[in-house]
Amino acid sequence: MPRAKILIVEDENLVARDLLNMVKTLGYEVTDVVQTGEVALKGLSHKPPDLALMDIVLKGNVDGISVASVLWEEYSIPVVYITSFADDVTFERAKMTEPFGYLLKPFEERELELTIETALYKARMLLLLKEKEQWLSTILRSIGDGIIAINRERRISFINPVAEKLTGWSEREAIGQPLNQVFRLKEMPSPNRASTFSEPYENILLSKEGLETLIEQTVTPLPEDKGRGMGEVIVFRDISARKKVEKELQESWARLHRTLQGTIQAISTTIEMRDPYTAGHQRRVAFLAEAIANELKLPEFQVEGIRFAAQIHDIGKIYVPAEILSKPTKLTDLEYTIIKTHPQAGYEILKNIEFPWPIGLIVLQHHERIDGSGYPNGLKDGEILLEAKILSVADVVEAMSSHRPYRPSFGIGKALEEVQIKKGILYDSQVVEACLKIFSEKRFSFD
Ligand SMILES: [Fe+2]
Ligand SMILES: [Fe+2]
């Protein structure tokens, strides 16, 4: 690494010459030797040094200390003071400027070198730190969130432009103020809440002018210094726009939901108007299927899908001639074959509707049995949706316990006995258990 370039500011010729020799012997390049502060400052632009060696007491209008502060603050040139005496007042003033070191005359070459190198190193570190601070501060200032930093006395040490805007306090007014004076919250967080850092929470911020803003904030402690807390950083943002969108979205979902419910209800009624003997069947099946699903502790959303599917599960029967549906005598094989097309027909009607649940498939599978003996596809246990398994048990229990054109009701006891006997063969065991339980323990009734 090339040796540093040094400027010497010394008004005593003899001392200046000695210094020049020493510096050169040590291998440094000397940019200039000048006698006054004014000359030193003038020559900086065409021969900028890395460091200045300077007498504290200089002839001329400006003394060494004033020159030193200009050199460091404006040109980032560190200054090492050379002095033959160090009275307290001068020394205190010298310390006010960034003190990179000083040498008391007389001194050795080795001492000079050490002081110069230490000063250069310290200057490099300070410049690096300053650069990092500027970099960080630029980021914090340009960020879209409000940021406030407080010291361990809970007074404000930093506030960015977004925080200034939301609180109504300018940086100049806010710095040094207690946090709760500038960052005023409508509801003070509970002590419990305040101690759980980092998790965002909502609150209402009151600006200086009394404006209210709904905000979301996080509080993060600054790293500790020797076991003492260094303060906190509060990051917050205006969430009123987001809340508004969320509310609109919720309302629009609720509207859609009501529409869906109404539509399903309308379809269900249409089917039952054609087929008065099974009128109310789908509604009662839906009621029981929902109860079984709840007993199985399925998520609310899934339960809703089961209820909707159950309400229209026999929709495919609109393809079956009304005479067959209401035939008071036993069905022929052909008539029964026609009836058995209704799950597939139902699926064809529903498959292209984008429900948030697999309604079409549930309807398609509602006559499948876990041993593969069902229709239309002879699916086995693992291939049948849980929703369809629930629907099939509810369907059978309801159908057997109500009147049909060709037979009287078997009664609920017989219906439950049937699913219990075929438990694990035709019907899913857990679903049957849940069904039996709601009748025996929860006193379920179709009415
Ligand atoms: Fe059916
Ligand atoms: Fe049915």
351-384 burial string, b = 16+ CB within 10 Å, else e? eeeeeebbbbbbbbbbbbbbeeebbbeebeeeeb
Mean pLDDT across 321-340: 89
Q: How confident is the model at residue 183 (pLDDT cuts 50, 70, 90)?
A: very high
158 alpha carbon – ligand 2 mean position (Å): 69
104 alpha carbon – ligand 1 mean position (Å): 106
| pLDDT (tens digit per residue) in 15-70 | 899 999 999 999 999 999 998 888 888 888 888 999 999 888 777 777 778 888 88
313 alpha carbon – ligand 2 mean position (Å): 6
238 alpha carbon – ligand 1 mean position (Å): 54
Q: Is the pLDDT of residue 324 over 80?
A: yes
The DSSP H or E segment spanning 31 is strand 29-34
Q: How confident is the model at residue 190 (pLDDT cuts 50, 70, 90)?
A: low
Mean of per-residue pLDDT scores for the chain? 89
Q: Is the pLDDT of residue 195 over 50?
A: no
422 alpha carbon – ligand 2 mean position (Å): 18
269 alpha carbon – ligand 1 mean position (Å): 16
Among 262, 314, 256, residue whose Cα is nearest residue 286: 314
Q: What is the pLDDT of residue 227?
A: 67
Q: How confident is the model at residue 98 (pLDDT cuts 50, 70, 90)?
A: low
| pLDDT (tens digit per residue) in 277-298 | 777 899 999 999 999 999 999 9
Residue whose tokens read 């529409």: 259
Q: What is the pLDDT of residue 189?
A: 62
Q: How confident is the model at residue 192 (pLDDT cuts 50, 70, 90)?
A: low
Q: What is the pLDDT of residue 404?
A: 79
Among 108-112, 194-198, 218-222, 359-363, the range scoring the smallest mean pLDDT is 194-198
237 alpha carbon – ligand 1 mean position (Å): 55
Q: In this prediction, what percent of the chain has a pLDDT beyond 90?
A: 60
367 alpha carbon – ligand 1 mean position (Å): 6
d(CA 120, CA 312): 85
**Looking at the DSSP assignment, which residues form a beta bridge with residue 150?**
156, 232
256 alpha carbon – ligand 2 mean position (Å): 27
308 alpha carbon – ligand 1 mean position (Å): 14
249 alpha carbon – ligand 2 mean position (Å): 36
437 alpha carbon – ligand 1 mean position (Å): 24
Lookup: tokens for 102: 């000083």
Q: What is the pTM of this model?
A: 0.58
Q: What is the pLDDT of residue 198?
A: 65
Q: In what order do the strands lie in the sheet with 5-9?
A: 29-34, 5-9, 51-55, 79-83, 102-104
Q: Is the pLDDT of residue 347 over 90?
A: yes
395 alpha carbon – ligand 2 mean position (Å): 5
407: burial class by Cβ within 10 Å (0-12, 13-18, 19+)? exposed
d(CA 222, CA 220): 6
More confident residue, 363 or 13: 363
11 alpha carbon – ligand 1 mean position (Å): 111
255 alpha carbon – ligand 2 mean position (Å): 29
Q: Tell me how far CA of residue 419 lies from CA of 368, 378, 446, in angstroms.
A: 14, 19, 17
| pLDDT (tens digit per residue) in 228-240 | 778 899 999 999 9
Q: What is the pLDDT of residue 86?
A: 62
313 alpha carbon – ligand 1 mean position (Å): 6
Mean pLDDT across 196-221: 86
Q: Among all ligands shown, which has an atom nearest to the Cα of 277?
A: 2
Q: How confident is the model at residue 268 (pLDDT cuts 50, 70, 90)?
A: confident
407 alpha carbon – ligand 1 mean position (Å): 17
Mean pLDDT across 393-420: 90
d(CA 426, CA 281): 21
Among 278-282, 291-295, 386-390, 439-443, the range scoring the smallest mean pLDDT is 278-282
443 alpha carbon – ligand 2 mean position (Å): 23
Lookup: tokens for 229: 């807390």
Q: What is the pLDDT of residue 11?
A: 86
More confident residue, 276 or 349: 349
More confident residue, 168 or 409: 168
Q: Is the pLDDT of residue 106 over 90?
A: no
354 alpha carbon – ligand 2 mean position (Å): 23
179 in helix, strand or coil? helix
Q: Note if the bond before 376 is cis, omega within 30 degrees.
A: yes
132 alpha carbon – ligand 2 mean position (Å): 73
d(CA 320, CA 300): 34
390 alpha carbon – ligand 2 mean position (Å): 12
Q: Among all ligands shown, which has an atom nearest to the Cα of 283?
A: 2
Q: What is the DSSP letter of 381?
A: G
399 alpha carbon – ligand 2 mean position (Å): 7
Instruction: Report the half-sphere exposure of 437 (CA within 13 A, side-chain side).
Output: 12
Q: How confident is the model at residue 409 (pLDDT cuts 50, 70, 90)?
A: confident
338 alpha carbon – ligand 2 mean position (Å): 15
70 alpha carbon – ligand 1 mean position (Å): 93
